[in-house]
Amino acid sequence: MKRYGFSILLGTAITFALLFIMQLLIATGRGALTEASTFRIADFVRVERNEVIETKENKPEKPPEPEIPPEIPAPSADNFDNSMSVSMSAPNMSANMNMGGVGFGISDGEYLPIVKVAPVYPSRALSRGLEGFVIVEFTVTRSGTTKDAFVVESTSSLFERAAVEAALKFKYKPRVIDGEAVEVPGVRNRISFEISD
């Protein structure tokens, strides 16, 4: 019962306090509506400048004389990639004195590179300015293509995939023994990645 009496008393006090504050605000705000407000007007004056417009005729510049291209030497048969090395076991040689069936034909010969595809420079390595090399080992097939390419050594793993993909596109003249093409396993090739200026 005491709680209800206290609540009613507190509510009445708050109501009278709010009414008093509202009356005070109304009494002090009347003068604000009746006062004449003064405005200041700023006047801007624009000063005209004497502008002179110059016109120029754009004449195209004479293009520079073209440089004489350097002479390119004709490719020779010795111009193969010397960085390619072959890793293979020594051939089994036996002396057969039977002169009737000597197995060397005129068309016999070692495998020779015909097409070497340049690898695509990896964009991540290029953006970092990395240079390096990869040594790839593969098998030259009877048809002159390459297969089973894998990385033997590399300076960065960023170059490995591009080097293997390029090695799988190489073309060779296959090795011919006794007039028949044979596979050559263990062929190694060094592929360099350098940023040219």
pLDDT value, residue 42: 65
Sign of CA dihedral 13, 17, 19, 23: positive
The pLDDT of residue 118: 86
pLDDT for position 101: 35
| Pair of tokens at residue 2 | 């005491």
Task: Going residue by residue through the chain, which has 197 residues, state the pLDDT in tens, using 9 for 90 and above.
Answer: 788 888 999 999 999 999 999 988 888 876 555 555 566 666 666 666 666 666 666 777 777 777 776 666 655 444 334 444 333 333 333 333 333 333 344 457 788 888 888 888 888 888 888 889 999 999 999 998 999 999 999 998 889 999 999 999 999 988 888 888 899 899 999 988 888 76
Structure token pair of residue 41: 């007007």
Measured between alpha carbons, how far is 187 from 138 in angstroms, rounded to an integer?
5
What's the confidence (pLDDT) of residue 156?
87
Distances (CA, A) of 6 to 2, 10, 13: 6, 6, 11
CB count within 10 Å of CB 166 equals 20
Residue spans of the domains in the chain: they are: 106-193
Phi, psi of 25 (to 5 degrees): -65, -40
> E strand or H helix at 138, and its extent?
strand 132-140
pLDDT at residue 103, as a whole number: 38
Instruction: State the pLDDT at residue 107.
Output: 57
pTM across the whole model: 0.45
Q: What is the CATH number of domain 106-193?
A: 3.30.2420.10
pLDDT at 136: 93
